[in-house]
Amino acid sequence: MRIVVTGAGGLVGSALARREGVVGLSRAQLDIREPSGLGTYDPELVINCAAQANVDAAEADPEAAFEINARGAGALARRCAELGARLIHLSTDYVFDGRATRPYGEHDPINPINAYGRSKAEGERLVREAGGTIVRTSWVFGAGGRGFVSQVLARLAAGEEVRAASSQQGCPTFVEDLVDALLALARLPMLPPILHVVGDPPTTRLDQARAIAELVGASPERIFDTPAPTGAAPRPAYCVLGTTALRALGITPRPWRDGLARVVT
């Protein structure tokens, strides 16, 4: 199968592009907002990892986020349909408002509370209109990433304290586990319209930070609870994604602590 990955300069896209038989395209090679050149690669399946994923930057400049996360995703989905290529489009737990008290199912109503989430929700709508499959994930981390895990590691290495919110619950996802799941899905002849692919089990940002400190031998006394997540954009408090549909396909979520150990040791 000829698999093309867009957004190959990012954490997930670059991890996919390292796998055998996958063609990774950076933004310089293919801008999803103008995807006419996609046919050059004759894809059977496209995995779209291209996104403006900086939540606070999206809040400051929503138009830029919508340009890539919504209109770009829609343009790519329509081009895939024209070429007869299947599309798996990566989305986010941030399409939900975080007010739930149980894991979100794939077809629970979405209600994003920040510009990033709204741009991704609109992208989902446009991709589905063109027949693509949505894969939502959350709290993705890996070696060399710029997210929460890397920030905690940097602060601990610098001898600083770490503040993380016990009020923020979600599902950390090791990037290599996400890639394995995406490639397993790519091999299936048919997919549901929406799937959740995340690590197991759910946790809080505070407990995730404590797990990082434990693995690097840092004192747990350097990890402090903070009343709420920091940042310019509001964050949903509870974004645990249910994986019943994924399990029904024979794919079992992997323990995020195993992935964390691979990153920090």
Catalytic residues: 116
Under 8 Å between Cβ of 103 and 240? yes
Do strands 203-204 and 169-170 pair parallel, antiparallel, or not at all (unpaired)?
antiparallel
Return the number of other C-beta atoms located less than 10 Å from residue 148's C-beta: 20
Mapping DSSP to helix (H, G, I), strand (E, B) and coil, where does residue 164 land?
A: strand
First to last CA, the chain: 35
Residues 122, 128, 134, CA angle at the centre, nearest 5°?
A: 85
Q: Characterize 242-265 residue by residue with b for buried, 16 or more Cβ atoms within 10 angstroms of its Cβ, and e for exposed.
A: bbebbeebebebbebbebbeebbe
